[in-house]
Structure 1
Amino acid sequence: MAGGSGPRRFTVRAGEGLEVITVDGGQAGVLAAPAGVLRAIAPDQPAPQEGEGEALYTLFTADEHAGTGYRFDVLADGEIVLDLPAEDMMPDQSNAPGAYDLHFTPSPRGCGRLPEPLGPIAQDVRVPAATAVCYRVRKGEYIQIIDVDGRQCSDFLAFDAEALSRGQEYGLDATATRTVQGHALPVPGLHGRFLDSRLQPLVEVVQDTVGRHDAFLLACTAKYYDETGYPGHANCSDNFNAILVEEGLAPRSGWPAINFFFNTQVQDCGAITSAEPWSRAGDYVLLRALTDLVCASSSCADDVTEANGWQPTDIHVRVYDRDSAISSGVAHRMTPEAPAIMTRQSGFHSDLAAQGAQYVEYKGFWLPARFEGYGAVAEYWACRTRACVMDLSALRKFEITGPDALALLQLAATRDIRKLAVGQVVYTALCYPHGGMLDDATVFRLAPQAFRLVCGDEYCGQWLRAVAAEHGLHAFVRPSTDQLHNLSVQGPQSRAILQPLIWTPPTQPDIAALKWFRFTIGRVGGPSGVPVLVSRTGYTGELGYEIWCHPRHAHAVWEAVWAAGQPEGLVPLGLDALDWLRIEAGLAFAAYEFCSETDPFEAGIGFAVPASKTDEFIGSQALAQRRLAPQRKLVGLESLSNEHLSHGDAVYDGRARVGSITSACLSPVLGKSIALARVDTAVAEPGRMLEIGQLDGLQKRIPVKVTSFPAYDPDKSRVRS
């Protein structure tokens, strides 16, 4: 629960335990409960203020460190209210609200806590362990299939109710779904529907808190148990037969089903394997009926493998009214213990939707992949020749403050942060002790002991807090991602668009004077306009800027930028075109150019580890050794044909595999296929001829030439212009 989000109610039950934890530190809160419902466990915990049948607990202080928790026993059923009062953080500030986690003591298996309802409940259906239940759903209603205690599979069947009334059986067809959607299993977003054999969609996936399910196999069968030495064992197919006969469906030896929470995967050799489910108590899948349906859900009966954690438990089904306002998304957890956070929308979402945005889920946010009426090619050329605007709000931001803020970043970053002036930005790597990369990041210095770190991985904040605690540093690390959304304006005309739009006070540089990797603080629309921070940064290889604002000001910022940009040919840009731009510019991307097994030199960003930095930092000793004896190097590749190259393609020198492609595209501006690849240093010299191996690496070879990178504007004259 985030600070400043308003009071939130939670239902508690007698016998439970409750722990309230401050995730980020520095965030006060108030917990209200009916008198006699809660009892603090430790004597040093806050004493309640009693009044009018209610107990108020004041939780934590502005100096409280992250991870501190208060524990309570729940003495009676009731409702509690938690409020974390906080003001919005403006772009030039560092007072980001903190967040709390609520942990309820796990109940014994079979008595799990259900998640809070998502809307008005039309039906509540319990599926006891090792059984199945049939229920009807109307078009537009939502179906929530909940794993009550965790690690419990649930087969799901759905049939077109109107067709079934005519004696025609049209149920979910996994093969048709995979073929049409192009996905092994539908996910919320563009590929979110389950189809029948007529290729007609029956349900769509709206939310998913697990992301590991099965759409390959049958529901478990009597034959399976007979042949594994358990004749007569309860099974889902027979359980379905028993309840579906009343709907006029003939029995089957094995029912094709979508098995939610069943953890299966296809190995490279083609074999399908399974393992213990990822789902935990309260996890769920939310579907929306696209026609009137007859549905059936099971609680899988398997207690002889790890498929249900060795002990079948209940499944719970909730059906919500069709008019419920439920957003789509998948859940993200920063760590296994962290609460699930559903995919959210940025402050620019509705404005981008009005431009025809086709959204995909990206690191916990809905971001446009492309725009109808434009397309990736037109979006790309707008950036290279005129200007484009894109939503980069999914970047993670952290406010690092306190007496030891500089010391913390000097220890955590590969760059020499002591050299960073107020108003300056620096690109850096964050590394583990062995030299592998945690992430890349940019660091903004807002004040002598106030910094903003912008990166891609939510985990960086927790890692920084752990580093501070380990070294006894007095520094606060507060996430500000939901307080700062950012719009990137890139392209040759970006300065002309923003210069008359951004007002800056005399103490700050204006847009015309703003240098590369610097930022200014100003307002959109004059001295009384919307407060923003504007940095001269980007991810395209072109002159460009990023505008940082609070989400509640996002619409006003968008309208001003869009109106100012139309005379200059401004176009919205999605992730597809952005990928081409950054590959041409030789810019690294997490899980492609780097990971925890890759050091900054191998990722092509060795410049972010200056040899002149004499202070010890995390990974410095390992990186000093790796600098002297590099084994692999990131290089550019230029294809001698227009054959498609892909991330992961193997690079060969004769029959020897010497590396792999990290990123590739058909460059529009260069008119050829190019790639970034990590190869053995022995074959990394420019001009060296290598081959890309496809069709098992031997049957098809694509000749390529090693080049330096970036392939586009190698001296960065455009971005520095």
Structure 2
Amino acid sequence: MPEAEMLRVTGGSSQVFALGKGDRLRVFDLEGGQNALLYAFGPKDALPASHPAAPRDALAGLIAANENAGATHHRLAGRDLASASGILVSGPQAEAGEALALAAEDEMTCVLIVPSTPSTADAVAPATDFALEIARSEQAPPASQPVPPLAEPLQDFRIKAATAERFEVKAGQYIQIMDIDGRQCSDFLAFDTELLGQGIECGLDATATRTIMGRAYPGPGLFSKFYDQRMRATVEVVQDTCGRHDTFGLACTMKYYDDQGYPGHDSCSENFNKVLAPVGIPSRPGWPAINFFFNTQVNHDGTIGADEPWSRPGDYVLLRALADLTCAASSCADDIDPANGWNPTDIQVRVYGAEHDFPKAIATRMTPDSPPVFTKETAFHSRVAPLSRRMVEYKGYWFANSFLADGAVAEYWACREKVAVIDLSALRKFEVLGPDAEALLDYAVTRDVTKLAVGQVVYTAICYPHGGMLDDGTVFRLGPQQFRLICGDPYVGAHLRQLAVEKCFKAWVRSSTDQLHNIAVQGPKSRDLLSKIVWTAPTQPAVTEIGVFRSTVGRLGDAQGPALVVSRTGYTGELGYEIFCHPRDGATLWDAVFATGKPLGVVPMGLEALDMLRIEAGLIFAGYEFMDEIDPFEAGIGFTVPLVSKKGDFVGREALVKRKAEPQRKLVGLEIEGRESAHHGDHVYAGRARIGVVTSGMRSPILDKTIALARVDVGSSAIGTEIEVGKLDGHQKRLKAKVVRFAHYDPDKTRVKM
């Protein structure tokens, strides 16, 4: 029987799908508490009577209110919408998990609708996702068709396994190369058509591309171009759903198969020779190619290794031609190693017109079985993007690394001396609601949530049972049974829901990241700025009255302005605030902050300056100071683990008791001689012995010192201990350093408390 098909229906959208006789459907309310309706065109009793009926005449209105209404209406064209039967498959009290299971007794067309309700910053009503699992009957034909095109294609053809095809595109047109069944590589060549007409062969060059781009594989955004031998940009990467490719090898060659004992085996290079010969391109024994979906890596010893591709069925790369090109693409013929999952399959190529404006995007997956999610624009993107040409993908969103007008160092100084604003909307927000919301969070995090008052915020660690950190974040208490957890890892929501099931807590964890976007307003003049634009009701504290780690609910401008949540929190070591709003109000909020802040010297700030500020302030970052092998004590935030005062149990408590009693490593501050910086991953030595690793490092502008954070053996962690940072192989070059108190800047946090 074919593998089950998985579909994702995002909150506030709808999905049309067909079921054949004998197909089995399972519907999952992924986060619980979300309304959803299932309609069917087919037999009268197609849907189970055990679920409440949904009104037949509401289908058209529900579809129209959802994000993809046009696509859904198009797929139902010609049908009498009022003839569909419908049921409610989930509702506000539903737990996370399976909401419906049925077997189709006959063919039918179904529509799942996940409605959304209006949301504001002070009344968040997130619409969350559903998943569909369809197990086709044995009589159904195996699904091996490409996913629908992105638009009406100019060319649309299939490259059979172990073959290649030639095609031409014009400047500005888009090329989509798709792995239909997954785990299949495709080599790609492109030549300047005008030069070919002059008898000059000028194609893509991986070495020129890597050298100019400074990275192994160009991705959408800043590093997005492939170059030819003239070092001219030839194609631009617009979208990538796989994220793992290779650009440093040849397309497979006859010599490779001969040497492996397979003489006469098909090869991509020979297949290219066949399709390129008619346009006068001489044959080569091996073609340097862009190897899409080929999973290769350079090992520490300099050898090149390969494994099965990361690509899943339907994964693709979307390119834009920057010149008129003669292209060739292959379906790799390799079936003697893991390169194509041991079984070569087909590749689909589509060409789209230059009139389209496909957004630049990289697909990410929260877990290996999650559907791909494209890079999103935040509520402030329309204001941020025109000011920066260094937009980078960060945790699924586009962010500015720095801005044109000032640059990272000037942005840093603005935050230290005046006021700076940074978009932090990629922070994941989760609404934790219900009678056991407090109990769930108190069990999930290390801090004592039972002590939180309404309006209070607490910084905490989130640990695995073995004591290693999943994430850090802040918990807001919004009411007796209402909490908001803000962190960095989208998996935290799934983790909380799993804990709720294991402990039988009656609580719902709803993802609200897309309903709450936020900026941080940081610096000594931040209070002056916000006091001029944030209105609060008499029952709420004013901005000037918010203490450290406190929040208030207000509005922008006056009582009729957009709703805001303002917290006195930040990641800079300065007096600062974070402002949360609904995405529809993002541009209005940004404009108000900058109009009011202009006399105060406000500037926009990017991620590069933020990293400098947080290192000086001794603030930790995921993947650097902590990860799942590192506990909060080793990460320098042992204060978030009150093992004595917190009486209740929490995830990792038993392991953390042992880890605290027998510490092995400690996060310390380093002061390094000279002006050369240590970087993340540099090893720390005591004599010949390696005793630790630098987690973050920089040259501090305000201290005029080279500083770092490092995780070292506890025996070398005392303040004043002299150690060295190794460069090159760790022994040929050393930077002298000593252990110092951190945070390096304002270690007593006096500026935060101003």
TM-score by length of 1: 0.96
Q: Distance in 2 between matches of 1:655 and 1:509?
A: 57
Q: 1:507–1:174: structure 2 CA closer, same or farther, 3 Å change rule?
A: same
Amino acid at match of 2:676: E
CA RMSD of aligned residues (A): 2.2
Q: 1:376–1:428: structure 2 CA closer, same or farther, 3 Å change rule?
A: same
SS at match of 1:337: coil
1:54 Cα deviation (Å)? 3.4
1:568 Cα deviation (Å)? 0.3
The corresponding residue for 1:320 is 352
Deviations 1:299-330 (A, max 9, x none): 11111111111111111112122222311111
Amino acid at match of 1:407: A
Amino acid at match of 1:64: A
Q: Distance in 2 between matches of 1:226 and 1:77?
A: 51
Q: Distance in 2 between matches of 1:304 and 1:12?
A: 38
Q: 1:339–1:38: structure 2 CA closer, same or farther, 3 Å change rule?
A: farther
SS at match of 1:679: strand
Spell out the pairing of 1:242-321 with structure 2 (5 A cutoff): 242-321=274-353
1:80 Cα deviation (Å)? 5.0
Q: Distance in 1 between matches of 2:101 and 2:281?
A: 52
SS at match of 1:146: strand
The corresponding residue for 2:252 is 220
* Residue 234 of structure 1 pairs with residue 266 of structure 2: yes
1:262 Cα deviation (Å)? 0.9
Q: 1:386–1:99: structure 2 CA closer, same or farther, 3 Å change rule?
A: same
The corresponding residue for 2:366 is 334
Spell out the pairing of 1:409-424 with structure 2 (5 A cutoff): 409-424=441-456
Q: 1:175–1:78: structure 2 CA closer, same or farther, 3 Å change rule?
A: farther
SS at match of 1:512: helix
Amino acid at match of 1:570: V
Q: Distance in 2 between matches of 1:553 and 1:644?
A: 41
1:3 Cα deviation (Å)? 5.6
Q: Is the 8 A contact 2:124 2:515 kept in 1?
A: no
SS at match of 2:239: strand
Find the partner of 1:522 among 554, 560, 564.
554
Q: 1:569–1:48: structure 2 CA closer, same or farther, 3 Å change rule?
A: closer
Question: Which sits farther off after the overlay, 434-443 or 606-615?
Answer: 606-615
* Residue 35 of structure 1 pairs with residue 42 of structure 2: yes
Q: 1:31–1:245: structure 2 CA closer, same or farther, 3 Å change rule?
A: farther
Q: Is the 8 A contact 1:119 1:326 kept in 2?
A: no
Find the partner of 2:33 among 5, 23, 26.
26
Deviations 1:342-383 (A, max 9, x none): 010100001112323521000101011000121001100000
Q: 1:360–1:396: structure 2 CA closer, same or farther, 3 Å change rule?
A: same
* Residue 476 of structure 1 pairs with residue 508 of structure 2: yes
Q: Distance in 2 between matches of 1:632 and 1:12?
A: 57
The corresponding residue for 1:672 is 705
Q: Is the 8 A contact 1:3 1:86 kept in 2?
A: no
The corresponding residue for 2:630 is 598
Amino acid at match of 2:710: A
Spell out the pairing of 1:504-543 with structure 2 (5 A cutoff): 504-543=536-575
SS at match of 1:346: coil
Find the partner of 1:570 among 595, 599, 602.
602
1:259 Cα deviation (Å)? 1.1
Q: Is the 8 A contact 1:382 1:491 kept in 2?
A: yes
Amino acid at match of 2:125: N
Amino acid at match of 2:299: Q
1:60 Cα deviation (Å)? 1.4
Spell out the pairing of 1:164-203 with structure 2 (5 A cutoff): 164-203=196-235
Q: Distance in 2 between matches of 1:15 and 1:91?
A: 46
Q: Distance in 2 between matches of 1:222 and 1:423?
A: 69
Q: Distance in 1 between matches of 2:109 and 2:536?
A: 49
Spell out the pairing of 1:421-440 with structure 2 (5 A cutoff): 421-440=453-472
The corresponding residue for 2:66 is none
TM-score by length of 2: 0.92
Runs (5+) with no aligned partner, structure 2: 1-7, 57-80
Amino acid at match of 1:525: G
Q: 1:304–1:78: structure 2 CA closer, same or farther, 3 Å change rule?
A: farther
Q: Is the 8 A contact 2:470 2:627 kept in 1?
A: yes
Q: What is the identity percentage for the equivalent residue pairs of Structure 1 and Structure 2? A: 54
1:391 Cα deviation (Å)? 0.1
Q: 1:45–1:283: structure 2 CA closer, same or farther, 3 Å change rule?
A: farther
Q: 1:247–1:53: structure 2 CA closer, same or farther, 3 Å change rule?
A: farther
Q: Distance in 1 between matches of 2:108 and 2:231?
A: 48
Q: 1:683–1:70: structure 2 CA closer, same or farther, 3 Å change rule?
A: same
Q: 1:101–1:113: structure 2 CA closer, same or farther, 3 Å change rule?
A: farther
Find the partner of 1:697 among 723, 730, 735.
730
Q: Distance in 1 between matches of 2:100 and 2:359?
A: 32
Q: 1:43–1:239: structure 2 CA closer, same or farther, 3 Å change rule?
A: farther
1:216 Cα deviation (Å)? 1.3
Deviations 1:184-234 (A, max 9, x none): 011111111111011111111111111111111111111111111111111
SS at match of 1:239: helix
Q: Distance in 2 between matches of 1:453 and 1:195?
A: 45
Q: Distance in 2 between matches of 1:586 and 1:109?
A: 59
The corresponding residue for 1:141 is 173
* Residue 713 of structure 1 pairs with residue 746 of structure 2: yes
Q: 1:655–1:182: structure 2 CA closer, same or farther, 3 Å change rule?
A: same
Q: Distance in 2 between matches of 1:247 and 1:101?
A: 48
Q: Distance in 1 between matches of 2:728 and 2:102?
A: 61
What is the aligned length? 720
Amino acid at match of 2:316: Y
Q: Distance in 2 between matches of 1:273 and 1:67?
A: 40
* Residue 646 of structure 1 pairs with residue 679 of structure 2: yes
The corresponding residue for 2:73 is none
Q: Distance in 2 between matches of 1:36 and 1:672?
A: 76
Deviations 1:494-552 (A, max 9, x none): 00000011000001000111100000000001000010000000000000000000101
1:88 Cα deviation (Å)? 3.1
Q: Distance in 2 between matches of 1:429 and 1:622?
A: 14
Find the partner of 1:662 among 695, 718, 742.
695
